[in-house]
Amino acid sequence: MALYLDYNATTPLDSEVAETMARCSEAQWGNPHSLHAWGRRARAAVEDAREQVADLVGCDRRWITFTSGATEANNTVLQGWAVADGGQNALLVGGGEHPSVRETARALGERGVRTAEIPVDGNGVVTPEALAETLATQAPVGLVSVMMANNETGAVQPVHELAAVCAEHGVALHSDAVQAAGRLPLDMARSGVAAMSLSAHKIYGPQGVGALVRDPERLPIAPLLHGGGHERGRRAGTENVAGIVGFGVAADQARHQRGPEARRLTALRERLEMGLAESGLAVTIVARGAERLPNTTCLLLPGAEAETLLMNLDLEDIAVSSGSACASGSLAPSEALLAMGIPAEQARSALRVSLGRPTSGADVDHFVQRLAVVAGRLQKRGAPA
């Protein structure tokens, strides 16, 4: 039984999205910046998609800048802010951020930008108190970046409260909302967040397209890419029309399906964790004391190395992850887990299980049964004689 449980890494392309993209490639393939009819048709398609993405996150459509993905969006906001700021203020990022934020901050630090990490608690959460303390010790601060939901543990950050703290200090807040989109209610206009990053392929859209959502009055940035006046001069390069159209359809689906799907996935996640508790495995659920994404469970299985577990599960045709897909191939323990105070040895045993639209109760039961066999065998081997 082939079983995919790695939906936080990527989701399959929805059939309606694929069909819409195919029709777009046939009928709306013009350059959206050309003035003739072909260009106007393509431009109209892009603007319709912009409206759909804006509706998903609850913002002005003019705040949407289409990108090649969330990595570009995160780089654009952090690097673009650094250029516009000119080294006057510090950049703060949450502990355990996605590599596209964490490594960008490190690169900026190497270039002389003052940067600091906001500590997280044992559940991987940036508390308002921790943010306020870091703002006070690192002042003056110009930008804070804290992800909306952790891609490895599923821990949801109190973004509205963090935005209020930032507002008290006159600081803009950016949030990587990749895992939250389509899974949590988003209302950017009321959240206090100045910018957020999105990715189409996490919501059953195409890979290679995303968006930076930004209120330009609250967070001025310089463009990352220079060239023509595409995307209102914010991102040079001819738009990926079919990909953007697919993103729009996926965003529309995510907005309408979010509530019922979140409830269904929450029930499946609870079924999964109950099954693990009854399996006899030595297992710890990471970030259990925090609000979590409805589809995400991160496990620690002491005595079983994650890489060995992944290979054994792969032989069973079961796909899960040991953390962020963007950090795959690294033998180092997860920086997100280390930031939570989890010892390196335990962090190396972490598995991330993320559920999706096709996941059923039978799938969850099958996974628990096979994991109990595979991990149980490895844990027995690693137990002291």
Provide the 3-class DSSP secondary structure of residue 368. Answer: helix
| Average pLDDT value for residue range 47-59 | 98
Mean of per-residue pLDDT scores for the chain: 94
Q: Does 325 score more than 70 pLDDT?
A: no
Q: Any residues with CB less than 8 A from the CB of 141 and at least 6 apart, and which?
A: 89, 90, 91, 92, 135, 169, 171
**What is the predicted pLDDT for the residue at 224?**
87
| Average pLDDT value for residue range 193-209 | 98
Contact 318, 370 (CB under 8 A): yes
Joined together, the tokens standing for residue 184 give: 């949590």
Per the confidence metrics, is the pTM higher than 0.85?
yes
Most confident of 128-142, 316-330, 365-379: 128-142
Task: Read off the pLDDT of residues 244-259 as tens digits, 9 standing for 90 and up.
Answer: 999 999 999 999 999 9
What's the number of CA atoms in the CB half-sphere (13 Å) around residue 170? 4
**What is the predicted pLDDT for the residue at 379?**
80
Sheet holding 64-67, edge to edge: 64-67, 210-214, 195-199, 172-176, 141-145, 90-94, 115-118
Task: Read off the pLDDT of residues 82-101 as tens digits, 9 standing for 90 and up.
Answer: 999 999 999 999 999 999 99
Task: Read off the pLDDT of residues 335-353 as tens digits, 9 standing for 90 and up.
Answer: 999 999 999 999 999 999 9
Q: What single letter denotes the amino acid at residue 234?
A: R
What is the dihedral angle through the alpha carbons of 94, 98, 100, 101, rounded to the nearest 10 degrees? -10
Q: How confident is the model at residue 232 (pLDDT cuts 50, 70, 90)?
A: confident
Q: Does 384 score more than 60 pLDDT?
A: no
Q: Does 327 score more than 70 pLDDT?
A: no
Domains defined for the chain, CATH in brackets: 3-11+259-382 (3.90.1150.10), 15-252 (3.40.640.10)
**What is the predicted pLDDT for the residue at 323?**
64
Q: How confident is the model at residue 171 (pLDDT cuts 50, 70, 90)?
A: very high
Catalytic, out of 59, 166, 298, 326: 326
Q: Does 385 score more than 70 pLDDT?
A: no
Q: Does 382 score more than 60 pLDDT?
A: no
Joined together, the tokens standing for residue 123 give: 């559940």
Catalytic residue at 24?
no
Joined together, the tokens standing for residue 319 give: 């796909």
Q: How confident is the model at residue 330 (pLDDT cuts 50, 70, 90)?
A: low
Q: How confident is the model at residue 324 (pLDDT cuts 50, 70, 90)?
A: low
Query: Phi and psi dihedrals of 355, rounded to 5?
Result: -95, 160
What percent of the chain is predicted at pLDDT more than 90? 88
Task: Read off the pLDDT of residues 114-170 as tens digits, 9 standing for 90 and up.
Answer: 999 999 999 999 999 999 999 999 999 999 999 999 999 999 999 999 999 999 999
